[in-house]
Amino acid sequence: MAEVLPTNHRSENRHQGYGSMIKGNVEERLTSFRSGLTLGEMSGSLGDLGTLLPILLSLALTGQIDLTASLIFGGVWNIVTGIMFRMPMCVQPMKSIAAIALTNQMSRGAVMGAGISVSMVIFFLGATRTIHLVKKFTPMSVIRGIQLGTAISFAGKAAALVKQANTFGGEGWDWANNYEWACASFIIVFLFYYRSKRVPTAMILFFIGLIIAFIKLYTNPPNGANYPKIGIYTISTIVPTVEEFKHGFLSAGLGQIPLTALNSVIALAALANDLFPELPAGTPHISMSIGVMNLVGCFFGSMPFCHGSGGLAAQYRFGARTEVSIIVLGSLKIFFGLFFGSSLMGLIQSFPSSILGIMLFISGVELGAAARSVNDGVVDDQKRHANFIVMTVTAGMLVGFSNDGIGFLGGMVTALSFYIGSRIGGTMDNDNTGILPEGLPLRENVLQADSTAALTTVPCESNDEQQEGGSTHKMVFGERESASSHQSV
Q: At residue 265, does pLDDT exceed 80?
A: yes
Q: At residue 11, does pLDDT exceed 70?
A: no
Reported as a single tens digit per residue, the pLDDT across 285-301 is 999 999 999 999 999 99
Reported as a single tens digit per residue, the pLDDT across 157-211 is 899 999 998 788 777 788 999 999 999 999 999 999 988 778 899 999 999 999 9
Q: At residue 419, does pLDDT exceed 50?
A: yes
Q: Which residues, at least 6 apart from 110, have a Cβ–Cβ distance to it below 8 Å?
A: 101, 240, 244, 245, 247, 248, 251, 252
Reported as a single tens digit per residue, the pLDDT across 47-105 is 999 889 999 989 998 999 999 999 999 999 999 999 999 999 999 999 889 988 987 88
Least confident span in 157-166, 346-355, 429-438: 429-438
Mark residue 296 as left, alpha or beta (left: phi above 0; alpha: psi -120 to 50; beta: remaining).
Answer: alpha
Cβ atoms of residues 336 and 78 within 8 Å: no
Torsion of Cα atoms, 80 then 84 then 85 then 91, to 10°: -20
Q: At residue 454, does pLDDT exceed 60?
A: no
Q: At residue 483, does pLDDT exceed 60?
A: no
pLDDT of residue 28: 72
pLDDT of residue 134: 85
Q: Which amino acid is at 197?
A: K
Reported as a single tens digit per residue, the pLDDT across 92-106 is 999 889 988 987 889
Q: What is the pTM of this model?
A: 0.77
Cβ atoms of residues 252 and 64 within 8 Å: no
Reported as a single tens digit per residue, the pLDDT across 322-350 is 999 999 999 999 999 999 999 999 999 99
- Using DSSP's 3-state secondary structure scheme, residue 148 falls into helix
pLDDT of residue 24: 66
Confidence tier at 463 by pLDDT (50, 70, 90): very low
Interatomic CA distance for residues 36 and 32, integer angstroms: 6
pLDDT of residue 178: 93
